[in-house]
Amino acid sequence: MARLIALILPFGASLFLVACPSLPGSKASGRNNGLDVPSDYNSGKAAVPELVGSLGDVFGSGDLKKQISLSQEKNPDLAEAAARLEEAGFNTRSARAGLFPSLTANGSGSRSKNNSSGAGFNAGSFITERYGASLDAQWEVDVWGRIRAGVAASEASYLAADADYAAASQSIAAQTAQAYFSLVAAEKLQDLAQRRLESFQSTFDLVDRRFELGTADFGEVSLAKTDVENARAAINAQKDNRDQAARQLATLTGSYPDAGKSATEWPSLKKSVSSGIPSTLLEVRPDIYAAYARILAADSNVKVAHRDLFPSFTLTASSGQQSSALRDLAKSNFSVWSVAAGLSAPIIDGGSRRAELGAANARAKQALASYRSTVLNAFREVENALGSEQYLKKQEDATASALEAAKSAEERSLRNFDSGLIEILDVLETKRRRFAAEESLINLKNLRYQNRVALALALGKAY
């Protein structure tokens, strides 16, 4: 019988190995993975800014650097990403443990009673006690590399989690900078709303005095009053916007979201962001590296599923004491030991292992598609930010010129009104245009700062 088993086992194993499917090809063949990467950005033909250091250094603002540092220390979303990275580290350690033997300590004790009936000296009841203590060792011999593939998958997942943390850090830094600039814009718009109210109030007072003197009619007074009340309403709207911007910045820096934070001045925009060439984006963007690491992890998991179709080999050993008396467990006369080797091979499992191999390969395809999507989106973000950098600068310059012209027109209209050459409606219109141009200039400046942060983030240089 033993000889028959010795003949059957190798033969069955060889048939099983022949029936195993081949391993699907790796999806991580290269960092480009079939993507057509141009030699330069289409939107980068004109001069673009150069980034040196962190966002705080780029804009030359000590207060901005302080807010970004606070976000890196106290932001709860970043703390969550750090905890996920820590978890991935423990998962890697757990996977590596499978390469080594395991050793467990066991203790047992039992007491049983056996009643027997019949004639003779064998009749009666018997109480049996049994005690044991042992150290048991077990080790799966990684013949096919299944465990090593699992370790590789776990290590790649850790690299992905590490890159995710870096991406989260950059994202939080960029969001903090953008919230800071939104607060600056909100402060300036609130100040503008106050100046608008004072200007229209001054015009209303002038028209009201003329009305009392009989040189202005009631319709002109009503028009001037309308602009005053509209300006008064705008102040409250701007105060609400300013408080919300302050709360957003406070939340990002891990503080209670009150409206106490303040930022009143634009930092310098003299430093610029170097765009480089598209291929370098694959090396510095942490989200791209995370997506690539997930391809590596998925490839390794395909190997795990493939190797799971092969037989597994285990070695076990046990050494300990067994006795019917607890006091004898410490005596060498009652020692026992065993050594065994085992082979386990799946024969019929309803196709579950092969289905898992197919699913693992499909997940690897998903990881590859996700990587390509991440890369394309990264290129799009850079192209958009570079294009907006040029267009926003031109819009800002044109709006600044329009503001100067509107201020000049306002001054002339006031002189002409005093001389009786124009109506109050013309004065109010020039005032509206002047303040609208100034509001547009503040908003455009905010957009430029926001876009500069977006460009730094898109290039993987936000923090």
Checking if the pLDDT of 463 tops 90, the result is: no
Would you state the pLDDT for residue 389?
A: 87
- How far is the C-alpha of 212 from the C-alpha of 221, rounded, in Å? 10
Quick: pLDDT tens for 24-59. 777 666 566 666 666 666 665 444 445 445 676 778
Q: What is the mean pLDDT of residues 257-274?
A: 82
Would you state the pLDDT for residue 43?
A: 61
Across the chain, mean pLDDT equals 83
Would you state the pLDDT for residue 326?
A: 59
Q: Is residue 381 part of a domain?
A: yes
Quick: pLDDT tens for 68-97. 999 999 999 999 999 999 999 999 999 999
Checking if the pLDDT of 234 tops 60, the result is: yes
- What's the CA angle centered on 240, arms 201 and 62, to 5 degrees? 105
Q: Is residue 205 part of a domain?
A: yes
* Nearest residue to 172 via CA among 266, 240, 251, 105: 251
Q: What is the dihedral of CA 379, 69, 443, 409, to 10 degrees?
A: -130
- How far is the C-alpha of 341 from the C-alpha of 191, rounded, in Å? 82
Would you state the pLDDT for residue 335?
A: 66
Q: What is the mean pLDDT of residues 364-387?
A: 92
Would you state the pLDDT for residue 176?
A: 95
Would you state the pLDDT for residue 184?
A: 97
* Nearest residue to 175 via CA among 91, 237, 249: 249
Higher-confidence position of 83 and 329:
83
User: Tokens for 13?
Assistant: 């194993």
Q: Is residue 121 part of a domain?
A: no
Q: What is the mean pLDDT of residues 178-193?
A: 96
- Helices (DSSP H) in 214-330: which residue ranges? 218-252, 278-284, 286-307
Q: What is the mean pLDDT of residues 292-321?
A: 89
Q: Is residue 438 part of a domain?
A: yes
Higher-confidence position of 1 and 266:
266
Would you state the pLDDT for residue 332?
A: 58
CB 454 within 8 A of CB 174: yes
Higher-confidence position of 49 and 374:
374
Task: Indicate the DSSP class of residue 39.
Answer: S
How confident is residue 3, by pLDDT bands cut at 50, 70 and 90?
very low
Would you state the pLDDT for residue 1?
A: 39
Would you state the pLDDT for residue 5?
A: 38
Q: Is residue 16 part of a domain?
A: no
Q: What is the mean pLDDT of residues 225-241?
A: 94
Q: Which residues contact 106 (CB under 8 A, 6 or more apart)?
A: 132, 133, 134, 135, 136, 320
Quick: pLDDT tens for 334-361. 566 778 888 888 888 889 999 999 999 9
Q: What is the mean pLDDT of residues 108-120?
A: 67
Angle (deg, nearest 10), helices 146-213 and 218-252:
160
Q: How far is CA 445 from the centre of its chain?
A: 28
Would you state the pLDDT for residue 118?
A: 54
List the beta bridge partners of residue 131. 109, 323
* Nearest residue to 451 via CA among 381, 394, 399, 378: 381
Q: Is residue 243 part of a domain?
A: yes
CB 382 within 8 A of CB 459: yes
Quick: pLDDT tens for 101-113. 988 888 777 777 7
Would you state the pLDDT for residue 345?
A: 84
Would you state the pLDDT for residue 16?
A: 47
pTM summary value: 0.82
- Asked which of 27-31, 105-109, 145-149, 416-420 is least confident by mean pLDDT, the reply is 27-31
- How far is the C-alpha of 136 from the C-alpha of 119, rounded, in Å? 44
Q: How many domains does the chain fold into?
A: 1
User: Tokens for 176?
Assistant: 């903090």
- Would you say the C-alpha torsion 7, 8, 13, 19 has a positive or negative sign? positive
How confident is residue 191, by pLDDT bands cut at 50, 70 and 90?
very high
Residue range of the domain that includes 424: 40-110+128-458
Would you state the pLDDT for residue 53?
A: 53
Quick: pLDDT tens for 156-176. 999 999 999 999 999 999 999
Higher-confidence position of 433 and 129:
433
Q: Is residue 20 part of a domain?
A: no
What CATH code is carried by the domain that includes residue 165? 1.20.1600.10
User: Tokens for 18?
Assistant: 């022949």
How confident is residue 392, by pLDDT bands cut at 50, 70 and 90?
very high
Checking if the pLDDT of 12 tops 50, the result is: no
Q: What is the mean pLDDT of residues 222-241?
A: 93
List the beta bridge partners of residue 132. 108, 322
Q: Is residue 11 part of a domain?
A: no
- Residue % of the chain over a pLDDT of 90: 50
Q: What is the mean pLDDT of residues 10-16?
A: 46
Q: Which residues contact 336 (CB under 8 A, 6 or more apart)?
A: 134, 318, 319, 320, 321, 322
